[in-house]
Amino acid sequence: MIRAGIVGGTGYTGVELLRILALHPQVEVAAVTSRADAGQRVDRLYPSLRGLCNLTFSLPEAENLLDCQVVFFATPNGTAMHMAAGLLRRGIKVIDLSADFRIRDAQEWEKWYGMPHANPDLIAEAVYGLPEINREQIRRAELVACPGCYPTAVQLGFLPLLEQATIDTDHLIADVKSGVSGAGRKAEISSLMSEAGESFKAYAVSGHRHLPEIRQGLTQICGQAVGLTFVPHLTPMIRGIHATLYARLNKPLDLQALFEQRFQAEYFVDVLPAGSHADTRNVRGSNRCQIAVHQPQSGDTLVILSVIDNLVKGASGQAVQAMNLMTGLPERQGLETVALYP
């Protein structure tokens, strides 16, 4: 049994880790921390876990995590960068669901996240945790930076096209829609049901923090700088991300075959039959990314539809997928659930 710790267990990615790991046959959650709720039973805050989790929240201090083999950070940005080194020194693997180690360039990170980086040297040791791109590096990693939810959906959707250099990389467009759980379990007016319900809006059009992360990922895939317009939107549902991607074709290709071949061996990326549309409900609660590809009116503009559950493949599920790889467990273990439809 792998002993796992979770730092920051009271946000949505934290409780989602608890949901997934509660049924993982090879993992035991040994510690869950929360500064605000230390001392309280986990299932008192989350009655959905009654009978499945006997833990009490502890303080987020290293000593409470020392008998873990792997520690997840489900914390706000700016926490893992302080604590990770201490754990790594003791041989504990670290999987960070926050943004602290996602951006290679520390100055770029500081610009977008508005604080100095506490441990820029450690960034180089972190592996970007998208298994469909970095599987082998993740297997050998001690520190994994889990991708953001938007970046996961967008990178998987553009991946085959960029690898094959079939599109104009100067003018990529990612029009992406997220459910409200992406904003986290924070008391903010804009996330109230009376505000976010029955309404639809774009936000952060001038620049969202996931823009540099996506740009970095796409650049790495195709080996050259890309131009990207990224517009995130808030849609009135709880879970799910739907990325609608637009790219100009450079040369003729069999779009459907390209995607099917690229993801043939990827259990968690499912290319839908030609003519399909992807629907977020079909991946709700599952670690799947479903993708549908279109070339409307046989023109030169491709349309890729890529959907995930932002809390699973976009966060905690992908983190467990990385953990399985890092600890030598079967990659799918604990993640073969079925989406909750309807």
Q: How far is the CB of 221 from a copy of itself (least distance, A)?
A: 21
- Counting other chains too, the contacts that 133-142 makes at CB distance below 8 Å and 24 or more residues apart are 133/159, 133/217, 133/221, 135/325, 138/322, 138/325, 138/326, 139/325, 139/326, 139/328, 141/93, 141/322, 141/326, 142/88, 142/93, 142/94, 142/326
Give the DSSP letter of residue 28.
E
Give the DSSP letter of residue 295.
-
Q: Between residues 134 and 244, which has the closer beta carbon with respect to a copy of itself?
A: 244
Q: How far is the CB of 296 from a copy of itself (least distance, A)?
A: 6
Strand partners, 228: 172
Parallel, antiparallel or unpaired: strands 201-202 and 228-234: antiparallel
Beta-carbon contacts of 170 under 8 Å, excluding residues fewer than 6 positions away, are 226, 227
Q: Between residues 67 and 188, which has the closer beta carbon with respect to a copy of itself?
A: 188
Query: Is 146 tagged catalytic?
Result: no
Q: Between residues 230 and 259, which has the closer beta carbon with respect to a copy of itself?
A: 230
Q: How far is the CB of 122 from a copy of itself (least distance, A)?
A: 29
Q: How far is the CB of 8 from a copy of itself (least distance, A)?
A: 15
Q: Which residue has the tokens 């009376």?
A: 194
- Dist CA 108 CA 199 (whole Å): 33
Q: Between residues 10 and 318, which has the closer beta carbon with respect to a copy of itself?
A: 10
Backbone angles phi, psi at 193, to 5 degrees: -60, -35
Q: How far is the CB of 119 from a copy of itself (least distance, A)?
A: 28
- The closest of 282, 196, 179 to 237, measured between CA atoms, is 179
* Contact present, 145 and 178 (Cβ < 8 Å): no
- Dist CA 77 CA 127 (whole Å): 17
Which position among 68, 149, 222, 289 bears the catalytic label? 149
Q: How far is the CB of 74 from a copy of itself (least distance, A)?
A: 14
Q: Between residues 82 and 171, which has the closer beta carbon with respect to a copy of itself?
A: 171
Q: Between residues 166 and 286, which has the closer beta carbon with respect to a copy of itself?
A: 286
Q: How far is the CB of 188 from a copy of itself (least distance, A)?
A: 6
Beta-carbon contacts of 324 under 8 Å, excluding residues fewer than 6 positions away, are 330, 331, 332, 333, 334, 335
- The closest of 130, 138, 90, 65 to 327, measured between CA atoms, is 138
Q: Between residues 141 and 255, which has the closer beta carbon with respect to a copy of itself?
A: 255
Find the angle CA(121)-CA(152)-CA(202) to the nearest 5 degrees.
105
Catalytic residues: 149
